[in-house]
Amino acid sequence: MRLFRKMNFWVVFFSDITILFFCYYGAHLLRFDALFSPFSNTRFISTLAPIIVIKMTCFFFFDLYNGMWRYAGIKDLINVIKGSISGSVLFVAYLALFYHFSGISRGIIVIDFILTMALIGGLRLSIRLFYQKESEFFDELVFWRRSPKFFKKVLIIGTGLLAERLFREVDDLKKLNYKVIGFIEIDRLNEGMKIHGVPILGSVKDLPRLVSFYRIEEILIVDSELKARDISLIVELCGNCGVRFKVIPALTERISRGIAGNLRDINLEDLMGRDPVHLNMEIVKAEIEGRSVLVTGAGGSIGSELTRQIIACNPAKLILLDNAETPLYRIEMELQSLRPAGYRTEIIPCIGDIRTRRGLDRIFKTHRPQIVYHAAAYKHVPMMEYSPIEAINNNIIGTYKLATMACKYDVKKFVMISTDKAVRPSSIMGATKRVAELVVQALSGNGTRFIVVRFGNVLGSNGSVVPLFQRQILSGGPVTVTHPEVTRYFMTISEAVLLVLQAGAMGKGGELFLLDMGKPVKIDDLAKNLIRLSGLVPGRDVKIEYIGLRPGEKLYEELLIEGEGIVGTSHEKIKVCNTFSRIDEGVFFEGIEHFHLLLKNSGDSSAMLKILERLVPDYRKEAENIPMSARPGYVVKQEDTGESSGTRY
């Protein structure tokens, strides 16, 4: 009944009746060369109403009046064909039953069928084109098309289904103001052929020439078979062309949305070469579900992502501990909206500090956490060089107090997040994190299972170099860099956190897990790509300046301390040290006690650093081997050398 109340339905309904009349009448005209005999005229009049009723009934049966014809597609046209065939067959049956084909030409039936399909389908197609093109509808009927005055010339990399669909959407969405010049494929199998009238211009290797010749402004990458190294090659090939790049994200980012609507700028994650993480979330959920979980540093980049993943595992309580009010409030509000329907996880934000034993005792006594994920730490390397007392107090003493509290209240599992900077540390931050690793090693065997997970830098974390470079590029430079040979390990925040959860669930206590960080990334290449992704040319559009390594920084990071052999686990991206460094617990805890006394009394930072060097024998040895050009304060200025120049950190 709702259908019958729509004006559009009646317009199409009576239009179809009119079309069917002219189809049947036209079939007679064509068959008899416009010469009707009295007998043929009588037969036409007597069978006109039955054929219209039969065909309209078939059209209803095949849902020709339930669709929105402004969005008509192949399936709708197939229904038109089905309705036309069914109507003609039933009409033939009607003629055989009541007229035995007496005085009825079979040619009329065939002509009527063809006209019905063409005109009924044509009506639907015209409606679709009218709404799709609006004022430009009539431009489609001529041999030339008026292009908008201002548009961006783009190339589409890919010739598959996604590329074809993207072209149609870009062509439809005039607000994007794109003009597709051509398609690019990996090889040359289809070069010279066309997709919807637009040519396949060549392969990826032809990009620099094509971009220059056609003055391309953007390149849209939609080939689902491309790997990160292929995307990196494309960006590198067009490094001096000044074009911007956009990419179609993974399927999970495209669900329920169009291809063009999901086009986004390429980011560094697309170029890092990281394969998707495949996890056994069942063992993670079995570990967390129904339990009380505490996350320290819950307002930070790692801690907040931990809470997002943990809440999906349905813990009974999720306790958020942080000493910063605003980030804690934001993650609490976000988790309230992320909590899956039907889950009754109690989200408990706690303003507190891991350095205050009394506050920790109150939180543990009240909420009784069963699992602790320790992500709270001071991580900024140069800043900790200027604040050694705070680094020791937070990273060492805070970890010690938190770990002893976990033992006191019978926490089942304690997972500490560490860093590659703890390996042969040249910085105070790295040395304090190494001592923190030794703290949980020394406390193992007291009822709580202590686990350490060590990994490198994460993209997008607080204090990451990427936002700094982006701000400097946005302001037009100069981009300040440190040293040409700096390399770092990188992974995304979500990947790191998922692997931390997996390692934590696998751990039985006492392990030090290493996450597979892939190949180290030269910051030179990373920074050049950032500039290129902004549509600029390194060294030409953005001035480059080297400033030397900052305090505490190393040229190269490592994930393994000498003597720590590693073995594989059931997960290909998680390794485990089969030996933990042996420590003299008497000397170690004496050093922790000295830290306590110095913090409480004199606050002598020099004395603290001497204790730190005694607890971590490798501390500062790396710095002795740093060349003069890499040391803080040594400034190198780079000439404008075009492609050979780049940004380094």
281-315 per-position pLDDT tens digit? 788 999 999 999 999 999 998 999 999 999 999 99
Return d(Cα 74, Cα 65) in angstroms, integer: 16
Return d(Cα 611, Cα 593) in angstroms, integer: 11
Cα 99 from chain centre: 67
Could you give the strand order of the β-sheet that contains 449-455, starting from the edge strand earlier in sequence? 346-351, 317-322, 292-296, 371-374, 413-419, 449-455, 512-515, 574-577, 566-568
Which CATH class, in words, describes the domain spanning 281-630?
alpha beta
Predicted confidence (pLDDT) at residue 625 exceeds the cutoff of 70: no
Structure tokens at 493: 């925040």
Q: Where does the pLDDT of residue 5 fall: very low under 50, low under 70, confident under 90, or very high at 90 and above?
A: low
- Overall pTM surpassing 0.85 (yes/no): no
pLDDT at 229: 75
Q: Where does the pLDDT of residue 231 fall: very low under 50, low under 70, confident under 90, or very high at 90 and above?
A: confident
Return d(Cα 406, Cα 411) in angstroms, integer: 5
Half-sphere exposure of 500 (CA within 13 A, CB side): 31
Mean pLDDT (whole number) for 602-615:
90
Which residue from 394, 419, 373 is spatially nearest to 558, judged by alpha carbons? 419
Return d(Cα 71, Cα 58) in angstroms, integer: 21
Across 267-305, b (16+ Cβ under 10 Å) vs e yields bbbbbbebeebebeeeebbebbeebbbbbbbbbbbbbbb
pLDDT in tens, 68-100: 666 566 777 888 899 899 999 999 999 888 887
pLDDT at 631: 39
Burial-class residue 559 by CB neighbours within 10 Å (0-12, 13-18, 19+).
buried
Predicted confidence (pLDDT) at residue 622 exceeds the cutoff of 50: no
Domain boundaries, the chain: 7-140, 152-266, 281-630
User: Average pLDDT over the chain, rounded to whole?
Assistant: 79
CA dihedral 14, 19, 24, 28 (to 10 degrees): 130
Residue 190, phi then psi, degrees to nearest 5: -115, 15
pLDDT at 270: 58
The active-site residue, picked from 55, 401, 413, 421, is: 421
The region of weakest confidence among 381-385, 565-569, 603-607 is: 565-569
Mean pLDDT (whole number) for 50-63:
89
* H/E segment holding residue 170: helix 161-172
Task: Please answer whether residues 405 and 357 qualify as being in contact, where contact means their C-beta atoms are separated by less than 8 angstroms.
Answer: yes
Q: Where does the pLDDT of residue 649 fall: very low under 50, low under 70, confident under 90, or very high at 90 and above?
A: very low
Per DSSP, 141 falls in state G
Cα 565 from chain centre: 34
401 annotated active-site: no
Strands (E), 297-336: 317-322
CA dihedral 122, 124, 125, 129 (to 10 degrees): 130
Other CB atoms within a 10 A radius of the CB of residue 42 amount to 12
The region of weakest confidence among 150-159, 275-284, 411-420 is: 275-284
* Helix, strand, coil abundance in the chain, percent, nearest 5: 50, 15, 35
pLDDT at 266: 56
Q: Where does the pLDDT of residue 3 fall: very low under 50, low under 70, confident under 90, or very high at 90 and above?
A: low
pLDDT at 28: 84
List the beta bridge partners of residue 450.
414
For the domain bounded by 152-266, which CATH number is listed?
A: 3.40.50.720
Mean pLDDT (whole number) for 98-122:
85
pLDDT in tens, 340-381: 877 889 999 999 999 999 999 999 999 999 999 999 999 888
Domains 152-266 and 281-630 alike in fold: yes
pLDDT at 173: 65
Where does 339-420 have alpha helices with state H? 357-367, 381-386, 388-391, 399-408
User: Is residue 373 classed as helix, strand or coil in its secondary structure?
Assistant: strand
Return d(Cα 566, Cα 303) in angstroms, integer: 27
pLDDT in tens, 405-432: 999 999 999 999 998 888 888 899 999 9
List the beta bridge partners of residue 173.
none
pLDDT at 247: 79
Return d(Cα 377, Cα 435) in angstroms, integer: 13
Burial-class residue 476 by CB neighbours within 10 Å (0-12, 13-18, 19+).
exposed
Predicted confidence (pLDDT) at residue 33 exceeds the cutoff of 50: yes
Return d(Cα 100, Cα 578) in angstroms, integer: 92
